[in-house]
Chains A and B, each alone.
Chain A
Amino acid sequence: MIKKIFFQLVFFNLFFLKEVFAAESGGMPQLNPEFWISQIFWLTLTFGILYVVLSKLILPKISANLELRKSQIQENIEAAEKQRESSEAKLKEYDDIISKSKLEANNIFKEARENVLKEINAKKETLDKQIDEEVKKVEQEINLLKKGASEKINKIAIETTSELLVKLIGTEVNSSSISAIVDDLSKRNGNKYYGN
Chain B
Amino acid sequence: MAANPMTQFEVYRIGPEIKIGAFDISFTNASLFMVVSSLAILIIFNLGSKKNSLLPNKVQLLAELSYTFVSKMISDTAGSKAKPYFSFIFSLFMFVLFCNMFGMIPYTFTVTSHIIVTFVLAAFIFIGVTVIGFIKHGLGYLKLFVPSGVPIVLLPLIVVIEIISYLSRPISLSVRLFANMMAGHTMMKVFGGFVISLGVVGGWLPLSFSVALTGLEILVAFLQAYVFAILTCIYLNDALNLHH
Across the interface, B9 reaches (CB within 8 A) one of A30, A44, A62, namely A30
Across the interface, B46 reaches (CB within 8 A) one of A9, A49, A58, namely A58
Instruction: Answer whether residue B213 sits at the interface, using C-beta atoms and an 8 A cutoff.
Output: no
In the docked arrangement, what's the CA distance between A73 and B224, Å?
36
Bitwise, B117-141 to A at CB < 8 A (1) or not (0) is 1001100000000000000000000
Task: Tell me if A10 and B4 are in contact (CB < 8 A).
Answer: no
Task: Tell me if B197 and A13 are in contact (CB < 8 A).
Answer: yes
Which residues of A67-90 have CB atoms within 8 Å of chain B's CB atoms? Answer: 68-69, 72-73
Bitwise, A31-47 to B at CB < 8 A (1) or not (0) is 11011111111111011
Residues in B with CB closer than 8 Å to A109 are none
Measured CB to CB, the closest approach of chain B to A21, in angstroms, equals 7
Instruction: Answer whether residue B105 sits at the interface, using C-beta atoms and an 8 A cutoff.
Output: no
Across the interface, A42 reaches (CB within 8 A) one of B30, B45, B113, namely B30
Interface residue count on the A side (C-beta < 8 Å)? 50
Task: Tell me if A66 and B3 are in contact (CB < 8 A).
Answer: no
Measured CB to CB, the closest approach of chain A to B170, in angstroms, equals 14
Instruction: Answer whether residue A168 sits at the interface, using C-beta atoms and an 8 A cutoff.
Output: no
Task: Tell me if A47 and B54 are in contact (CB < 8 A).
Answer: no
Measured CB to CB, the closest approach of chain A to B126, in angstroms, equals 15
Report which residue of B94, B113, B197 has the largest number of chain A beta carbons within 10 angstroms of its beta carbon.
B197
Task: Tell me if A50 and B25 are in contact (CB < 8 A).
Answer: no
Interface residue count on the B side (C-beta < 8 Å)? 58
In the docked arrangement, what's the CA distance between A154 and B13, Å?
167
Which residues of A1-45 have CB atoms within 8 Å of chain B's CB atoms? Answer: 6, 9-10, 13-14, 16-17, 20-21, 24-32, 34-44
Given known contacts A38-B26, A46-B38, A55-B88, A69 and B52 CB-to-CB distance under 8 angstroms:
yes
In the docked arrangement, what's the CA distance between A39 and B182, Å?
17
Instruction: Answer whether residue A113 sits at the interface, using C-beta atoms and an 8 A cutoff.
Output: no
Given known contacts A38-B28, A55-B88, A69-B52, A50 and B4 CB-to-CB distance under 8 angstroms:
no
Q: Told that A37-B25, A47-B34 touch, could you supply 5 new A-B pairs with CB distance under 8 A?
A: A29-B10, A35-B11, A39-B120, A49-B38, A62-B49
| A-B pairs with lowest CB-CB distance, top 7 | A55-B87, A42-B31, A61-B49, A65-B52, A24-B4, A46-B34, A41-B25
